[in-house]
Structure 1
Amino acid sequence: MNSWMEIEEFSGLMNLDISAIRSLIDEGKLTSKEEEGQCFVEVSRSAQALIPATKGIVLDETYEGSSVSLSSEFVEKTVGAILSLHEKVLDAKEETLDALKGENRFLKEALFSMQELCDEDRKVIETLSKQLGLLQDELEFTKRKYKMMWNKAVEGYTPPSK
């Protein structure tokens, strides 16, 4: 989508004379159109044509007041290195997340296994408790039975005479 601006407004924005802008239009460096007697300049392509491509970046203020010039190749390599490191960090993050997900699955399975063992142990304890109750009842019955038998035996016992 093209965005158009009046030549006067474009002149103020780019800090150029209208005559300089008209000569750039004549040279074909700027795209323009005429509507209702006014000249409009296409902003995005024209701005790109007017901004010079630099081969390096100059930093004016540095450590001891001297200026340092950075080549565009250095900047591109630096940005490339940063992007490469960023990709490696993202890959490491993905690997870590995958490892954590695997560990969580393992822990979840272990928890379910422990829950099953606990349920089985509860059933065994319940069964053993019932058996213990039955054996205690049987023991009490046997005690009463022998006590009654011994009481009868003691009552019916007559000591031998000499």
Structure 2
Amino acid sequence: MQTFLKIDEFCKLVHLEREVIEGMIERGVLNTKTEEDGEIYIEASQGTMSIVPTTSSNLSVNMNALPGESFVEKTIGTILNLHEKVLDAKDETLDVLRNENKFLKEALYSMQELYDEDRKTIDTLTAQLKHSQEEIEFLKRKYKLMWNKAVENFNG
């Protein structure tokens, strides 16, 4: 999963100037994307790995380039900050999923209630239909007997 940060946030996170980061972007060291609003986003985990030196000669150069805190302290700080952001994003995602599950559960209960009500209505209508059919059959027999009696009386 890729996490993209705005270029300014990334600069704060890695404790480097924006110009240095832009130079790295131009060299193709950092994975970036540009949104419609013109804001540049940098892929966080790949970006921090690109900043960490791979050889000891780079380490000594970078240590001299960074005044104040040592490079290792800044790297650890960067990793911790990224870890906190990942944990916050994870918690936010879990909250969203819990709310979505709660909504789906309530929708399922609602659908079940509607299904039960519809089933009761169908049962009631089926019983009424059966009763009406029995009544129609009874009336057919009654009128047939009455007309047969009337024809016998007329003929007889």
Alpha-carbon deviation of 1:120?
0.9
Which structure has more relative contact order (CA 8 Å, sep 6+)? It is 2
Look up the match of 1:126: 123
Moved over 6 A (4+): none
Gaps of 5+ in 1: 1-56, 61-66
**Unmatched 5+ residue regions in structure 2?**
1-52, 64-68
TM-score (norm 1): 0.55
Q: CA RMSD in A?
A: 2.2
Change (3 A) 1:140 1:79: same
Distance 1:75 1:123 in 2: 71
Q: Percent identity?
A: 65
Give the deviation of 1:73 after TM superposition: 1.5
* Structure that is richer in helix per residue: 2
User: What is the CA distance between 1:59 and its match in structure 2?
Assistant: 4.0
Q: Whose Rg is larger?
A: 1
Aligned residues: 97
- Which of the two has greater strand per residue? 1
Letter in 1 for 2:117: E
Q: For the residues of structure 2 that align with 1:111 and 1:85, how far apart are their CA atoms?
A: 38
Distance change >3 Å, CA 158–CA 59, structure 1 → 2: closer
Aligned-pair CA distance for 1:144: 0.4
The answer on 1:149 being equivalent to 2:143 is no
Counterpart-to-counterpart distance in 2, 1:153 and 1:75:
114
CA distance in 1, matches of 2:98, 2:128: 45
